[in-house]
Structures are given as structure tokens and as C-alpha cells.
Amino acid sequence: MDFKKAMQRIGWRLQQPTFKPNNEDKQAYNAIVQVIESQQKQQFKNHELFAKLYIHIYGKFISHYKTTVLDVVPRKELHKILETPMSILIEKFTKEMNDSELYTLMEKSNIKIDHPAFKNEHEKKEDAQKIDMKNLNIWKQEDVSECLENEVNHAINLQTLSKAKQNL
């Protein structure tokens, strides 16, 4: 029995006032279960890179939150990331890159990285004079977006090539 017939059969049977499952109902149900299981397995195979990253990050979140797979917190946090618009993730990534550039420049300028609240006005002025802002690389979001797109596509292409080689 194929999927469409199985669904029609289940739909028809559920509309009957005195529904008692028979052998065809069981076959229809089993056919639906088989199709769903097959689709799930194929989906996992088709999105192997995503699955690898999901599993890795999920494990990291379980460790970070000191929980187990039975706790919903790591899963919820991971799903928050998946639900975040791409533009927001790229914006955050760009900010992190620019922060990193600034910290590197501060270190090269022999500026002690402390919270500004712990520095007096004299130290703040000294730090400002030490730093050469011409050496600060500022990343633009458009450039970061393009680089990230290239990185992701490169990873996908490497995976595709690797799989093709395995099938030879």
C-alpha cells in the first residue's frame, strides 16, 4: 500500500462511527510509519553537515549547562540560535570580529585590558594616546557576510567532494 492510499484509508476509517481497526487499517498505519521513518533517515543523510554541527553544539550546550539530554534547556538554547535571522547572526559575528581586532590592537599598543571603571582618567588618556587607530581593521557587515557565505559553501563543496570520492 502506498502513502496516499494509506492516508485515504485512515481518513475514511476515522470518519466511521464504529471504528474498529482491521488488518487493512494496520497495514495503512504501518505504511505511514515506514514512509515517515524513511523520510527522516533520508533527511538526516541529506543534511549531514547540519546534523554534525547540531550534535556537536548540542553536546557543548549540555556540558555548558551541566545537564543531560533529558533537560530541555540546552535544546531550547540551540533552537534559539536556529530561529535567529541570519542577518542578526552575521551582525553579531561582525561585532565579535571588530572587538577582536580592537583587543589585538590594544595588546600591540601595550594597553592593559581592564574595565574602564577600574582606570582613572590619567590612565584612560594614556591609553588613548598609545593606540594608533590607523592600524585598526574594521570589518564591514557586507564583507563579513560574503566571507561567511564563501566559507559555508566551501565546507559544503568539500563534503560533497569527499562523498563523491567515497562512492568511486
Name every residue whose Cβ is closer than 8 Å to that of residue 98 and which is 6 or more positions away in sequence: 138, 139
CA distance 138 to 97: 8
Residue indicated by cell numbers 582613572: 120
Q: What is the DSSP letter of 65?
A: T
Q: What is the pLDDT of residue 86?
A: 97
Q: What would the grid cell of residue 69 be?
A: 539530554
Rounded Cα distance between 112 and 127, Å, is: 8
pLDDT at residue 107 in the model: 86
Angstrom CA distances, 149 to 85, 152, 159, stand at 15, 5, 15
pLDDT of 25 reads 82
Distance between CA atoms of residues 113 and 127, nearest Å:
10
Phi and psi of 109, rounded to 5°?
A: -90, 10
Q: Phi and psi of 42, rounded to 5°?
A: -65, -40
pLDDT value at residue 57: 97
Q: What is the mean pLDDT of each run of 10 residues along the chain (168 residues)?
A: 80 80 84 90 92 96 96 97 98 96 87 82 83 85 97 93 84
pLDDT score recorded for residue 124: 82
